[in-house]
Structures are given as C-alpha cells and as structure tokens.
Homo-oligomer: A and B are copies of this chain.
Amino acid sequence: MRSFFEYNWQVRDDWLEWCEQISTKELLKPRTGGPGSILYTLFHVIEVEYSWIKAIRGKEDEVIPFEQYDTLEQLKKLSNDCRAEIMKFIEKGLFGNKNESVYVSWENQSYTKDEILHHLIAHEIHHIGQLSVWARELEFKPVSAHFIGRTEHGRS
C-alpha cells in the first residue's frame, strides 16, 4: 500500500517537472477526457488524495480552490505541503487498522480505510494515464509510468 503511494508521489513529481517545458497556455487549456486541463488534473489528484485522507483522520472537509493554485509553482507547493501533512499521518499509522470505518461527509456515507486507500491509489494512476495521452497529443514524451525500474521496457 505504502509503496503505491510512494510510486504515485514520484510519478506526480516527475509530471510537475515535465510541465516545466510546456507553456502556461497549454497547461491551462481545457482538454477532452479528464477532469480539465493538465494543471487542473494534477490539482485534482492532489486535492482528492488530501481530502479523503483528511476524512480518514476525522478532520472536517475543506474545499481547496483551484484559482489559488493554478500556476506550476503554486501547485508544486500544494503537492509538497499536502504530502508533508500526509507523511506525518503515515508515521502515526495511516496504513494500520485497515478495516476501520470512515465517514465521508461529501458522500454522506462510510467506507473502510482500506477501500479509501485503494480508491486513492487507482484514482491517481488513472488520471496520470490521461496525462500521458495529452502529452503525446502535444508531441512530448510522457513521464514513465512503470512501477518496475521507472524506465522503458520491451514488454512494459
């Protein structure tokens, strides 16, 4: 479980670096098939991870406004700040007691911690897959998505 989070964070960092070569206009351009622009998609995975983990922690939900994080620099800072907070919680035992029930206010429903952690892992990998299509459509090489080695493989 933890290794999937570390994988997602590494891939996310690589995408945030990848964005450095793309113009702000292209980064903010609405795109077909994902939550919005490239920057908004990255914002979305950060925000969703942070919100669900806040729910696990029993903290109140707060909506993070994209308008405050719509530059690459601000988004990198948001990713780092959210991750630092999540890391502290990991050290306190995020990955323990997986059958614990968690109330999720925006769905008015409860899930097990285990379900939420699975959801978050799949959620980020899925959206990163969308970024990889847009990257090729922009004629840029996408970040490697390989869990093993993180380099190109013959068979993938």
Contacts and interface: CB of A to CB of B under 8 A. Distances in A.
A30 B93 CA distance: 46
B147 A118 contact: yes
Give chain A's interface residue range (CB within 8 Å of chain B): 35 or more
A2 B148 CA distance: 19
Interface in A74-114: 106-107, 111
Interface string A115-135: 110110111011111101111
A142 B33 CA distance: 9
A51 interface: yes
Nearest to A120: B147
Interface of A: 3-4, 7, 32-35, 44, 48, 51-52, 106-107, 111, 115-116, 118-119, 121-123, 125-130, 132-137, 142, 145-148, 153-156
